[in-house]
Amino acid sequence: MYYETVFIVNPDISQENTEVLTNELVEKIEKAGARIVKREYWGSRPLAYSIQKRNRGHYTLLVTDGAASMAKIIDTALLMDERVLRFLTTTITELSDEPSPLLRRRAAPVVEEAKVEAEAEVAVEAAVEEVTAVEEVAAPAAVVEAAESESGESAKA
């Protein structure tokens, strides 16, 4: 059975400390005999409503595979930690390898930016090739002119 846990960490805690908290939770889960199937950090996001006079929080998603007692271990660990504002553990029947919709939405601008950068690189390479081709065509004409001027000078002498 798979369990999906989303928890919100106090925004006063840094992202690095949020990762430390997540690593501690992962160690507890693995010691209990379960495995982490998916782990996503969703970043610092606004809360739907104020919790403990906080309007933001660090969101993290963990998907675990284990026995039913696993949900109790996760809930107890998160309930006892002061840094965690809220958490929710649900049972899911099927596992998806795709990133969560929230993570896909955050990654979409990065993909678009990478696409624009790749198109710009191709355009620059094409311009460099065009300039190189023009220089190659212009260079022989300059050599011919120089040769003609040298031969004209030697003929005069």
Query: Which residues have CB under 8 Å from 88's CB, separation 6+?
Result: 5, 6, 7
Q: Which residue has the tokens 């919100």?
A: 8
Distance CA 21, CA 59 (A): 12
- List beta partners, residue 139: none
Distance CA 100, CA 152 (A): 77
**What integer pLDDT is reported at residue 62 of this predicted model?**
92
Q: What is the pTM of this model?
A: 0.64
**What integer pLDDT is reported at residue 12 of this predicted model?**
92
Write out the two tokens for 101: 């919709």
| CB distance 42 to 59 below 8 Å | yes
**What integer pLDDT is reported at residue 87 of this predicted model?**
95
**What integer pLDDT is reported at residue 83 of this predicted model?**
92
Model pLDDT for residues 70-84, shown as the tens digit of each residue: 888 889 999 999 999
| CB distance 100 to 40 below 8 Å | yes
**What integer pLDDT is reported at residue 20 of this predicted model?**
92
- Low-confidence residues of the chain: pLDDT under 50: 157
